[in-house]
Structure 1
Amino acid sequence: MNNIISSILITLFFATSLQAQQGSSKNKTSKDNTIQTQPKLIVGIVVDQMRYDYLTRFYSKYGEGGFKRMINEGFNCKNNHFNYVPTYTAPGHASVYTGTTPKYHGIIGNNWYDKEIKKSVYCAGDDSVQSVGTAHDAGKMSPSRMKTTTFADENRLFTQLRGKTIGIALKDRGAILPAGHTANAAYWFHGADEGRWITSTFYMNELPQWVQNFNNSKQASSYFKVWNTLYDISTYTESAADENTFEGGYNGKETATFPYDLMALKEKNSGYDILKATPYGNNLTTDFALAAIDGESLGKDEFTDVLAVSYSSTDYVGHNFGVSSKEVQDAYLRLDQDLERLFNGLDAKVGKGNYTVFLTADHAAVEVPSYLASLKIPAGYFSGKAFKDQLNAFLKTTYNTEDLIENFSNNQIFLNRAKISEMGLKLADVQQSIANEIISYQHIDKVYTGQSMMKTSFSRGIEELIQNGYNQKRSGDVIYVFDPAVLSYSLTGSSHGTAFNYDTHVPLLLFGTGIKHGHTYKKTNITDIAPTMSAVLGIGFPSGSSGQPLEFVLE
């Protein structure tokens, strides 16, 4: 009897042990699968000149499949900001994908003065490459001026170049900088009299057949039609009156009011370029992005691909018509439909649960200053000519010369260091002298010297943002800050570039594989996006990344 009981106990012991081992093995497998599960495709969307409040202001008129789908299925970071200035297109796109600021990635503006060669350079300009898809110089572009890698570069390195990267935007810089240095391709739209998607020899020597087919389809020409409001204009109660004095409009039309006959207006507005400045430019971008998913077989194998899409038309519309215009509202309602079309395409082509999307902006925008002034809100316009004349008069009186300044750009003054040395002056003294002078000028709120940016560590306020945007090798000798809502711009339309909330506060929506559902009011930075995508993929962070993964958005 004792032997029987002993045998039963021994059998139970081994059975229990085996179950525990199997359970442990299952748990380990489950955990390993969780660790190894990653999307087949990352889609990064940058909306050019999108304020955060465009999400909330137009929310009731959005459909269910675009912005609302991202919010309802994904994570909404409601207090997302740029942590540097200047807030322009090129630095914005570079910072989103590199996870760092101009201090490190080097893209300090769309254009900047090169202190070595003594002339202005373009962020993506590259005379060492040739255009592909056009005979025009519009294709002579590359990411060579960007100093650090993007998360797309890191994915290419991680997969031994088997994961693809494709960048797409109407603007060359919106396609090139996000895609990084190792991209399979970046494509941008050359308007004028051609209306074609092009690239450069940095990526390839001839356009792939699918791109040629798209260009030959004359899809761009199909958008030369009447732009009217998507819905009855009387329902656009979130915007100002259609006819007012704060909007620009198009050449050939007396008023900036709906409708706009693009076929009739194209000749006086640079041909195909007028499409960029309407929502149809975003339609065309979506058309091309969907064609790229098919043409490049994105998300079709075990190696994660990256598709970087930038919607540029919202920036053109915003600059032209301003933040409160009905044109901007219509552009976003139509963009919402484009997002739905893109997400439906991803569902069908890549599969639900197989992709991850983030959406943000490269900067936001200020209300038209003349409109704010009409409401008695402090605002105004800065005259660059008057500023230069006044400063040169000071330099003539103080130093008996007007040759101490080489360039004014991006709210920075670049000094003639050779001349300063020749005159036996100290650079730091001249910088400080100019700073002390211009702080008294109209519409100048703050002034900092290059020496202070290099020798003082700022940890808060506008000073921190200026320092994050200051690149020791490329930036100027004196940096000045305008008063709030002051622009060096026309009296109509909106612009951007500052460290104020109206320029820094932009959306950050994430959804898809690896992303939780929820929202936060915790402050997040634009530089957190790239390391978060790296964390989703389990790859190395971009080489200069200074942001942190947003753990609370990750499953």
Structure 2
Amino acid sequence: MQRQVLLPLLTLTLFTTFMITAQRRGKDRDKKKEPVPVEVKAPKLIVGIVVDQMRYDYLTRFWNHYGEGGFKRLINEGFTCKNHHFNYAPTSTGPGHASVYTGTTPAVHGIIGNDWYDKETDTEVYVASDDSFESVGTTSNAGKMSPHRMLTTTITDQNRLHTQMRGKTIAVALKDRGAVLPGGHTANAAYWFEGTESGNWITSTYYMDALPQWVVDFNASDAVESYKKPWETLKPITEYQESGTDQNIYEGRFRGEATTTFPHDLPSHWGKNGGTSILRATAYGNSITTDFALAVLENEDLGRDNITDFFTVSYSSTDYVGHMFGVNSVEVQDTYLRLDLDLAKLLTTLDGKVGVGNYTVFLTADHGAIHVPAFLVDQKIPAGYLDLGALKTKFNEFLKYKYGTTDIVKTISNYQVFLDRNVIDNLDMELDAVQEEIALEILNYDDMDKVFTGFQLWRNNYTQSTGIPYLIQQGWHQKRSGDVVFVQRPGFIAYPKTGSTHGSPMIYDTHVPLLFYGNGIKKGETFERTEIPDIAPTIASMLGIAFPNGTTGEPIAEVLE
């Protein structure tokens, strides 16, 4: 009986031992196999498009008017992030472009505004100004620019470093900051539009000592002058049902205009509005940008070899038009319909010059925008305007009463109070106590929603779930930002009563499009939250290169093939 039981057990044990040994030997053989090299076909060209002041709902609101070759092509054949946001404030052009390309926020890259009070020099500084360099292509100071105030690398820098500087970077925008910041510290060229009577594209000695001949030829052509014509709607104005009435009290006007209505007779008001500068605040400004971008593709050989190049294009006129006419205007709608045609033209040119499947595009915005508060009030929605003059008067009275002097405050800039540390020391006061006293005072003012002190932002670690505190902290730089940050109520702005603006941590300023298209990109969409700093590491992951050195974003895995 024992033998009958033991024999099957022995057989089973031997079989099991044999199988385990065989499996181990198999694994050992697998380990010894040489890895199979995988060929990664990188795109020949990355095209980064930033549409200035583009709210996400401009995609959906004007959808039925778009053609098949622009926004719809990017969406239908690419990947759409539908819940994409800025994760900081202030939401403005300089910080927006820097954050898209650095993969981080102002707390790290240091671009805390378009202009800000500089503690070291005790002056107000402009984000891109740099007197160390001279203008190229103009005798004015409009070209004395560089990215020297941006503290980290960009995805464009990292591509240059990865390719031993053989991958080119060219950056183009009407606004200098819309070209200088995306181009990074290592761009081969960055060009922006001077406007005025010249209508020229210019640059800085930071990049080159003289304009290339093709730029000289472009400036000498009638490419810009051809837009000296009335701005009429692309389609019959009766079809613009997605916008408000053409004549209303919520829109600004060009100097010399009697009404806000189409057509806008640009030639008649040319001289009163700075010559070609008037084109910035029309749909034609985007077309001028596209014309120049196509000239770049024709003359700079981008995407012509197997080393990845970068081409950054920022469409600035959408911002100028939004500021002048407002979110709900026919002018904004017409600008986006015409931009759709410009995008189609750009994509078609890329197909021919670089080749279908050889390039990758991402499109996003540098911030959103608010509806004109006066319009919102008329719709019975809480909104309004901050009286910063009255606020300052009341604040100065508080300072005199509390501290005996207003000298305790250096300045108020970008909704931030900058204190004079020397005065505080001389008065033998504690900095954190002064910050808190001032914060409590400002919080009592009408239309203020939240106030934060520098010590709060220094000591706490806010997460995305906390909402506005998280956004304020991500936009606050320890060395550059102010001592007290204040946030107005939703729907309230410090701005004229016509036109739209931006800059707040509110969702109308943070929710923007993010589209990916082309080589290495899946077709699809996501409703998961994505954030502006995620763009650069996503592109870096696709290219297999190092992330920008201040990156805090995460790659969006769903986007990549």
Same fold (TM over 0.5): yes
- Cα distance in 2 for partners of 1:230, 1:410 equals 37
Tell me the distance in 1 between the aligned counterparts of 2:183 and 2:427: 46
Q: Distance in 2 between matches of 1:193 and 1:431?
A: 48
Residue of structure 1 aligned with 2:508, choices 485, 502, 508: 502
CA offsets 1:269-303 (integer angstroms, 9 cap, x no match): 11111011101110000000111012110000111
Give the aligned partner of residue 140 of structure 1.
144
2:118 maps to which residue?
114
Select which of 318, 327, 331 maps to 1:323: 327
Residue matched to 2:259 = 255
**3-state SS of paired residue (2:362):** strand
Specify the alignment match of 2:371 in structure 1. Answer: 367
Number of the residue aligned with 1:195: 199
| Alpha-carbon distance, 1:210 to partner | 1.1
Deviation at 1:130, TM superposition (A): 0.3
Distance in 2, matches of 1:526 and 1:436, equals: 32
Other-structure match for 2:557: 551
Between the aligned partners of 1:272 and 1:108, the Cα distance in structure 2 is 30
Shift of 1:28: 3.6
* Shift, 1:213, TM fit: 1.0
Instruction: Give CA-to-partner distance per residue, 1:481-523, whole Å, 9 cap, x none.
Output: 0000111000000000111110000000000000000011010
Structure 1 residue aligned with 2:104: 100
Partner SS, residue 261 of structure 1 = coil
SS at match of 1:189: strand
Matched, 1:345 2:356: no
User: Within 1, Cα distance between the matches of 2:173 and 2:104?
Assistant: 21
Separation of aligned partners in 2, 1:125 and 1:417: 27
Matches within 5 A, 1:374-413: 374-413=378-417
CA distance in 2, matches of 1:159, 1:262: 46
Aligned to 2:189: 185
Residue of 375, 394, 419 corresponding to 1:415: 419
Q: Which of 44, 56, 66 matches 1:40?
A: 44
Supply the distance in 1 between the matched residues of 2:306 and 2:239 (Cα, whole angstroms).
Answer: 47
How big is the shift at 1:254? 0.9
Which moves more between the two structures, 103-112 or 406-415?
406-415
Alpha-carbon distance in 2 for matches of 1:249, 1:39: 44
For 1:89 and 1:426, the matched residues in 2 are separated by 36
Instruction: Return the index of the structure with the highest Cα Rg.
Output: 2
User: Identity over aligned residues, as a percent?
Assistant: 59
| Amino acid in structure 1 at the alignment position of 2:111 | I
How much does 1:126 deviate? 0.2
- Secondary structure, aligned partner of 1:181: coil
**Shift in Å at residue 309 of structure 1?**
0.2
Q: Please give the secondary structure, in 2, of the residue aligned with 1:237.
A: coil
Report what 1:465 is aligned to: 471
1-structure distance, mates of 2:240, 2:47: 31
Residue 79 in structure 1 maps to residue 91 in structure 2: no
Match of 1:233 in 2: 237
TM-score if structure 1 supplies the norm length?
Answer: 0.94
Q: Give 3-state SS (helix, strand or coil) of 1:227's partner.
A: coil
Determine whether 1:519 maps to 2:510. Answer: no
Compute the TM-score of the two structures, normalised by the length of structure 2. 0.93
Matched, 1:478 2:496: no
Partner of 1:535: 541
1:493 aligns to what? Answer: 499
Within the candidate set 438, 453, 458, 2:457 is matched to: 453
State the AA in 2 paired with 1:68. K
Q: Partner of 1:337: helix, strand, or coil?
A: helix
Per the TM alignment, residue 159 of structure 1 is displaced from its structure 2 partner at its CA by 0.3
For 1:300 and 1:491, how far apart are their aligned partners in 2? 49
**Mapped partners of 1:499, 1:386: distance in 2:** 23
**Structure 1: runs of 5+ lacking an equivalent:** 1-20
Q: Report the Cα distance in structure 1 between the residues aligned to 2:423 and 2:131, rounded to whole angstroms.
A: 30
Equivalent position SS for 2:528: coil
Name the amino acid aligned to 1:165: T
Q: For 1:537, give the aligned amino acid.
A: L
Q: Distance in 2 between matches of 1:120 and 1:218?
A: 38
